[in-house]
Amino acid sequence: MKFSKLQKIYDEKYGNIPSTPDDQLQYIIDTRKVNMDKVNSEIERIKNIPWKRMSFTFPIIPYPTPRPRSTSNGCFYVEGAHDHWQYMKKNIETNRVISTITRFTVDLNIPIPSTMNGTEAYLAQLGYIMPLDSDWDNYGKTYSDAIQQILITNDNLICTGVVNKKYNIKPSVTIILEYQDGYDSKFNEKRITRSKSYKKIFGE
């Protein structure tokens, strides 16, 4: 969709909504039915939902997702995506597949280039010289896609995503998942449990 069309849609749907946080809350009160007692009790409930953590480190070379390619019949695919998924499936041992709000962090140890001189390589190992190889989001896509249906039902559960890149003489990938041990709302619970990705793992 062209940006000009997106801008028009924005102006039509959201142009009359105030810009400050307090005014936006008042706008919701004025335009929807809000039960403040329920709001306060839900805030306390959500704040008390425990957060759990998973962490996995893999002795592999970090790989950024390339541009999609097309086959002769017009289908598109991402080179290497299935191989990464198969690797994760083979090397991850867990009985828990996350289906709640998740924070995703991937720590990448990028191989130190052989073209660096010795001083630069040493400084890179210490973290003073940082990698400028591939876009950070391409790395994030590789590993958030690779854990779907293995550690997480769908990567749309990720509400916070962080990619940390640094050099290391020995490359590796560490995936860290922090997730709520419960649903933050009936709305999201229904949306998640009715999804195809959820039913594929847990059934109807």
Tell me, what CATH number does 69's domain have?
Answer: 3.30.1330.70
pTM of the model: 0.88
Same domain as 107, residue 59: yes
Same domain as 21, residue 77: no
What is the mean predicted confidence (pLDDT) over 88-102? 94
Distance CA 188, CA 67 (A): 31
Same domain as 73, residue 25: no
What is the token pair recorded at 175?
């995936």
Q: Which H or E run includes 4? A: helix 3-14
Confidence (pLDDT) at 76: 45
Signed CA dihedral, 19, 24, 28, 30: sign only: negative
Same domain as 55, residue 42: no
Confidence (pLDDT) at 64: 92
pLDDT at 72 over 90: no
Same domain as 59, residue 32: no
The region of weakest confidence among 88-97, 107-116, 173-182 is: 88-97
Same domain as 165, residue 140: yes
In which domain, by residue range, is 24 found?
3-46
Cβ atoms within 10 Å of 196's Cβ, excluding its own: 8
Same domain as 106, residue 40: no
Same domain as 169, residue 141: yes
pLDDT at 3 over 90: no
Taking phi over 0 as left and psi of -120 to 50 as alpha, with beta for the rest, 64 belongs to beta
Confidence (pLDDT) at 80: 62
Q: Which H or E run includes 70? A: strand 69-70
Same domain as 121, residue 20: no
Closest CA to 160 of 104, 110, 200, 94: 104
* Strand stretches in 91-180, DSSP E: 102-111, 158-168, 172-180
Same domain as 75, residue 34: no
Q: What is the largest CA-CA distance in the chain?
A: 66
Same domain as 35, residue 75: no
77 pLDDT band (50/70/90 cuts)? very low
Task: Give 70 or 114, the one with higher predicted confidence.
Answer: 114
Same domain as 78, residue 103: yes
Confidence (pLDDT) at 203: 87
Structural domains in the chain (count): 2
pLDDT 10s digits, 137-153 = 999 999 999 999 999 99
What is the mean predicted confidence (pLDDT) over 84-102? 94
65 pLDDT band (50/70/90 cuts)? confident
